[in-house]
Amino acid sequence: MGARIPSALVVAALCSVASFGVVAQEKDDAAKGIEAYREALKDGNPAELFEMSGEELWRKPAGPKNVSLEKCDLGLGAGKVEGAYAQLPRYFKDTNKVQDLESRLLTCMSTLQGVDTAEYVKARFNTAKKNDLVALTAYISGASNGKKVKVSTKHPMEKQAFELGKRMFFYQAGPHDFSCATCHGEDGRRIRLQDLPNITKHEGALAGWTTWPAYRVSSGQMWSMQWRINDCFRQQRFPEPVYASDLTVALSMFMAANANGATIQTPGIKR
Ligand code: HEC
């Protein structure tokens, strides 16, 4: 896409061994640099390519039954894509589960297309099967761009998922005794010059939730929220979570409900 890296970013990276007094200033410059970089990239977000291939996958007959996903019910009725993502995760009667977009897609692939979704759950990220799911999330979330997050915690199972997600968010364990909140529960935290949103507050949850799935410039990959969470488990030195499992959905429920009322800006673009 030929986006240029603003010089502030490069300067900030080169100056990392400067004396103590100017460190705060440099951090600010770096943050500004990264912000400018984001702005420049918004003009041509490569995520659009994933949206396009996601739409193709949505419409293409596939699987043993050779049926498309177009009749998939994402919560607003069969085939209704627009605005659906803004209200996920949610409780679904047919599965008697709270589902996020990715677990719901697995349900539709299984019921409509006859696909063995265990293969999709097991597949590594950045392989064909997972990339298909990510592309689908790019397309479907894009159809909620500009909509307000409206996630319900009224149904007892939704409430339960929210509470489980909250507990998990603050659950400290592993070799470093980290929880999600260790990195995402305070204002102004940073790792490797990245501002880490305080997801326990509305403003942070807003930044953390409404801009995913996102294209990550550093890796040249499109990531879904399940992928994001999976990588944060790694950063937390926790065992790898099962893709689309109830626990990962619960974490999304916690973050999404904290972001209620914020505007969806998907697909996003990240460092
Ligand atoms: C050791 C620190 C660490 C822990 C623990 C951690 N994360 Fe993260 N998280 C990060 C970093 C670093 C980033 C940003 C990466 C980047 O910008 O490339 C991030 C990004 C995120 C984002 C996207 C934020 C945004 O602004 O786009 C979400 C959402 C998130 N983490 C959720 C979680 C959840 C849920 C947990 C607990 C399961 C968790 N994280 C645990 C370090 C951590």
Residues 6+ apart with CB under 8 A from 242: 121, 248
85, 266 in Cβ contact below 8 A?
yes
Label residues 80-89 b or e (16+ Cβ within 10 Å = b).
ebebbbbbbb
CA-based end-to-end distance of the chain = 14
Residues 6+ apart with CB under 8 A from 38: 269, 270, 271
7, 13 in Cβ contact below 8 A?
no
Which of these, 69, 93, 94, lies nearest to 79 by C-alpha position? 69
Average pLDDT on 69-84 reads 98
32-36, 189-193, 233-237, 252-256: the lowest-pLDDT one: 189-193
Catalytic site includes residue 108: no
64, 205 in Cβ contact below 8 A?
no
Maximum alpha-carbon separation in the chain: 66
Q: Which residue has the higher pLDDT, 206 or 220?
A: 220
Please give all residues whose beta carbon lies within 6 A of any atom in ligand 1, as ranges.
Answer: 178, 180, 182-184, 191, 194, 196-197, 207-208, 211, 228-229, 232-233, 235-236, 251, 255, 270-271
Q: Which residue has the higher pLDDT, 15 or 106?
A: 106
CA 232 to ligand 1 center in whole angstroms? 5
Whole-number Å distance between alpha carbons of 100 and 55: 18
CA 184 to ligand 1 center in whole angstroms? 7
| pLDDT reading at 2 higher than 60 | no
For ligand 1, what atom is nearest to the CA of residue 182? Answer: 5
Choose which residue among 41, 196, 218, 223 to substitute to test ligand 1 binding: the one with the highest number of ligand atoms within 8 A of its C-beta: 196
CA 208 to ligand 1 center in whole angstroms? 8
Q: What is the pLDDT of residues 161-189, one digit of tens each?
A: 999 999 999 999 999 999 999 988 877 67
Q: What is the pLDDT of residues 129-151, one digit of tens each?
A: 999 999 999 999 999 999 999 99
Q: Which of 15, 72, 108, 232 is catalytic?
A: 232
Whole-number Å distance between alpha carbons of 164 and 179: 14
Distances (CA, A) of 185 to 51, 168, 169, 198, 266: 32, 13, 9, 5, 23
